[in-house]
Copies of this chain bind each other. A is one copy, B any other.
Amino acid sequence: MTTPDTHRRQRRKDARPAELAAAAMALFVEKGFAATRLDDVASRAGVSKGTLYLYFDSKEALFRSVIEESIVPMIGEVEAMVERLGDDPVRLLRALLEFWWAQIGSTHLAGTCKLMLCEAGNFPEVAMYLNERVIGPWHMLLNRVIEAGMTKGVFRQGNPESVRQMVFYPLLMQAVWQCSLPVCSSARPMPENYFDTFFDVLFRGLLVEPSEETQR
């Protein structure tokens, strides 16, 4: 009794909220929440403005929903990383960061990071929630690895907070930056050997060691 047309329609209907959220996400990331007009969201999604209200109660609800939907995969990613916990802090740290970049930093989820940064002041509860569910656990994870490395004597002693920023913020900033300035020159794609240099310097230091020096 359900014709293929009905099927297609059904699929369309089910996909609607996600389509709308995706359109909203793109514009929220590009312009910010307040500067985004629902007119624009609707026309980007190819629907009428009224349709938005069939799926979302308000602009703010749309925003929360967009964030919400981004959070679920993020939580998933972070938890997936927890699974990977192994013994070698070096390999583990590298794996975590590369995984973060592959699954978040270089994907459309990077936009959520930008939104977090830009809109946290206007949506403190959202920020708190995100902080609790995603940022916190992620920081915990990094901290555990870093501190484990220090405890094991593999990593240099020091302020773990400082270390966490050093290992993570370059990636985070790069991700956010690419959302912000697709127009500027900085939007060039990540260079091939970015991570090679990154981890080389991170683990072995910027300075050439005496032993290496003699090798040259």
Q: Contact residues of A with B, CB < 8 Å? A: 30-35, 90, 114, 116-122, 124, 127-128, 131, 135, 149, 153-156, 158-159, 161-163, 165-167, 169-170, 172-174, 176-177, 180-181, 183-186, 191, 193-198, 200-209, 212-213, 216
Contact = CB atoms under 8 A, between A and B. Distances in A.
Contacts of A131: 181, 184-186
A193 B155 contact: no
Contact of A209 (B185, B200, B208, B209): B209
Given A117-B118, A166-B197, 11 more contacts: A114-B118, A131-B186, A149-B206, A155-B208, A156-B204, A156-B205, A166-B170, A167-B206, A169-B170, A169-B173, A204-B205
B177 A117 contact: yes
Could you say how many copies of this chain the assembly holds?
4
Contacts of A172: 169, 173
A170 B174 CA distance: 11
Contacts of A207: 90, 154-156, 203-205
Contact of A173 (B119, B173, B205): B173
A195 B159 CA distance: 9
